[in-house]
């Protein structure tokens, strides 16, 4: 067993998701968030099924494990990610990811109500500090002129709903892992397959999903972004996040995965040439500090 495999997997997840937010932001603007969401789910299902078959991974799960993973996928990938993609369109990847970093704190609140896990004074303090850090960034009165995104109430709402969906999905995934060991790629396949089955008819009914071949015929760059984002996001990112949860404490894994705001700052400066205010940097640091306090409370 590789030392600190859970912690290393969590850090890898943070880097992968940070990169995913940038490439998916471009594709979402070009082809629409729902079209992108369904396209990447279909691609991820194909990639994961091929991986499971080629490497002969054990997919013999119990019916309850499959049920929990399916519910987890619907809450996290259908509901949560749909809101998150809308947040990317409205307020951009940096603020979208920063709002997503509140997911561990929301997970603690949900665990209190649905799993009976109590919150001590340190946990409450961690939640408050986390929200203060996020608020410091999203309540900036003016954006830098180099930023192509503007802060909006709807964008902030979408971001928090995305974080809530991620939190709910994590709790149901944990239910499946507590029953017995599951390969990360297998767990990710069941989550994404369930989400795909539900998203396709929803997209068709809403008339926001059309033949991907026709869509990408005139959007070659969006196709490249979708493929890259799918590989580093649903395929590798989600898998590494589940591996992290399986091999280390959920609190430690969640804290390390929540370093995305810190990783995003240099990324957006390089990719978008965006000038970052000290308020953004301090706010991100405070948010992650609060999350660390929340989950490293012992």
| pLDDT tops 50 at residue 141 | no
- The pLDDT of residue 147: 57
Are the C-beta atoms of 111 and 117 separated by less than 8 Å? yes
Are the C-beta atoms of 94 and 283 separated by less than 8 Å? no
Mean pLDDT of 125-136: 80
Higher pLDDT, 189 or 166: 189
- The pLDDT of residue 298: 52
Between CA 44 and CA 227 the distance in angstroms is 9
Between CA 215 and CA 231 the distance in angstroms is 20
| pLDDT tops 60 at residue 143 | no
- The pLDDT of residue 119: 66
- The pLDDT of residue 145: 45
User: Among 79-93, 95-109, 158-172, 197-211, which stretch is predicted with the lowest mean pLDDT?
Assistant: 95-109
CA proximity to 183, closest of 240, 105, 102? 240
Average pLDDT score, the chain: 84
Confidence of residue 49 (pLDDT cuts 50, 70, 90): very high
DSSP SS3 for 165: helix
- The pLDDT of residue 111: 75
Between CA 25 and CA 86 the distance in angstroms is 9
User: Among 81-90, 103-112, 215-224, which stretch is predicted with the lowest mean pLDDT?
Assistant: 103-112
Between CA 34 and CA 49 the distance in angstroms is 22
| pLDDT tops 50 at residue 87 | yes
pLDDT tens for 283-298 read: 888 888 887 786 665 5
């Amino acid at each position: 067993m590789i030392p600190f495999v859970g912690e290393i997997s969590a850090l890898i997840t943070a880097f992968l998701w940070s990169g995913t937010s940038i490439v998916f932001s471009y594709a979402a603007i070009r082809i629409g968030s729902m079209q992108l969401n369904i396209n990447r789910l279909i691609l991820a299902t194909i990639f994961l099924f091929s991986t499971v078959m080629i490497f002969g991974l054990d997919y013999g799960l119990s019916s309850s494990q499959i049920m929990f993973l399916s519910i987890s996928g619907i809450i996290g990938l259908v509901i949560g990610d749909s809101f998150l993609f809308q947040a990317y369109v409205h307020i951009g990847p940096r603020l979208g990811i920063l709002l997503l970093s509140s997911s561990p704190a929301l997970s603690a609140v949900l665990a209190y109500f649905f799993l009976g896990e109590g919150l001590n004074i340190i946990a409450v303090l961690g939640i408050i500090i986390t929200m203060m850090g996020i608020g410091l960034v999203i309540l900036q009165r003016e954006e830098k002129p180099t930023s192509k995104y503007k802060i909006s109430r709807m964008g902030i709402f979408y971001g928090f709903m995305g974080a809530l969906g991620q939190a709910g999905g994590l709790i149901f995934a944990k239910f499946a892992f507590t029953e017995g060991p599951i390969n990360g790629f297998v767990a990710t396949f069941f989550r994404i397959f369930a989400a795909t089955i539900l998203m396709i008819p929803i997209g068709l009914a809403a008339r926001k999903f059309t033949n991907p071949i026709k869509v990408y015929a005139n959007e070659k760059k969006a196709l490249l972004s979708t493929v890259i984002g799918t590989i580093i996001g649903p395929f590798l990112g989600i898998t590494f996040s589940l591996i992290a949860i399986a091999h280390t404490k959920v609190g430690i894994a969640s804290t390390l995965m929540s370093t995305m705001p810190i990783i995003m700052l240099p990324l957006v400066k390089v990719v978008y040439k965006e000038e970052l205010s000290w308020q953004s940097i301090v706010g991100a640091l405070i948010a992650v500090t609060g999350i660390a306090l929340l989950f490293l409370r012992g």
